[in-house]
Every structure is written in structure tokens, then in C-alpha cells.
Amino acid sequence: NGTENSGAEVDIVNVANQLDVKRRRIYDIINIMESVEIVSRLKKNTYRWHGLDNLPSFFARLQKEGYQARKMKRMYPHLKELPTDDSKTIKGMGNTCQKLIQIFLVTHKIDIGLTDAAEEVLGPLPKSEKQKDNETGGGSAPSVSGEKKDDGSDSKDESKDSGGEGKAMKTKIRRMYDIANVLQSIGIIRKENVGSTSSKNKPS
């Protein structure tokens, strides 16, 4: 990779102190950016900035992997975990982020509801979660599309959920929203309200 030794170094501790935010929040954002190769880890708490120039080649590689994964699923439908030869395994929010982007790249859809995306990435959601998710944002289920749009809304359901499984799923859905917010700020996707009267669903 020609950009490995280029770009500014970013110290997570300094960034958290300067912005006066919890370090955990900075790590979440950095993990998402690392998963799309905008930054790379140099050492503990230190990352190198690469920018957006490599996104097209990264998307092409992610799309190829997505097609291969879907082909494997059709061939071996009973396998829960598909074999991978990727030496750099992405976990947590970074993995979820890649899978969210992969949905666009493989299905060629222009917009996808975040509830549908969550089911695609995380598995079937409990009916209660789907109903709550569709009730946020004034009755409109949020969706994501192919470009950035300035939208300050942040749909999070703070109601308590019974059972550990339900709470775990609610946490995963919130993380999906967090990932979408970061991708929106980068300019990779934009957020829309499907039920809105203003129709701007397609990227220009």
C-alpha cells in the first residue's frame, strides 16, 4: 500500500482531551475509519491518516469479497461461519461497518432501511425491536443512501428492554446507528426519512 508511510499521525489520547469527549467514543470512530482504511494503526493509541483516496479500490475489494461470500452461502447454506483467508480479521464495529457497506455494493440498492440493514448484518430482529425502530423519528423508519446529507436527527430508543438478549440486540442496533452517523460524516452515505414528503432518495 503506497499510503502506509504518508499522512499525519493521530494520537487518540490527545484528540479525546482536545475535544473533551470520552476516549471510548474516539475509539469507536477510529475503529470504523480503520475498517474502511481511512486510517491505520501504528501503535497503541496512535493511528496514521490516509484520507479518502483509497476508498474506490477498497470498495472494489469489499464488493468482490461480498459476492464470494454470497456464493459460498448458496453452496453451503448450513454453515454459520464461512471460511476466510483474510489475514487481517476485522471485528466488532469495524466488521459491522464493512458488512453494512457491502450490502450496498452487492445488492446495488440505492437506499436501505437501517432496520433491514440490521437484520441483514445482525440476523433477524425481535418484533418488538422492529416496531420500536419504525416508530422513531416521528413515525418514519430511517434509511441510508449513497451520499452525504446534512441531517441532525439521531434516533435512539431509550426505553428499557426485558431480558439480556433483547438488551444485547438493542445495543447492536444503536451501534448500527453510530456507524451510519460516522459514514454519513465521511460522505459515504446519507441518512433519509422514508416517510418524509421531500423525496431525495437517489444520489446525484
pLDDT of residue 101: 93
pLDDT tens for 15-65 read: 999 999 999 999 999 999 999 999 999 999 999 999 999 899 999 999 999
C-alpha distances (whole Å) from 12 to each of 20, 28, 33, 102, 113 are: 12, 11, 13, 28, 32
Cell of 150: 446534512
10 and 51 in contact (C-beta within 8 Å)?
no
- Residues 106-145: tens digit of each pLDDT: 988 888 888 888 888 877 766 655 555 555 443 334 455 6
74-78, 88-92, 132-136, 166-170, range with the lowest pLDDT: 132-136
What does each C-alpha distance from 56 to 27, 66, 159, 171, 195 come to in angstroms?
A: 24, 15, 40, 31, 31
CA distances from 70 to 11, 36, 98, 99, 115 (A): 38, 20, 15, 12, 20
83-103: per-residue pLDDT in tens? Answer: 555 545 566 888 889 999 999
Residue 185 has pLDDT above 80, yes or no: yes
Cα distance between residue 110 and residue 198, in whole Å: 17
How far is Cα 13 from Cα 138, in angstroms, rounded to an integer? 38
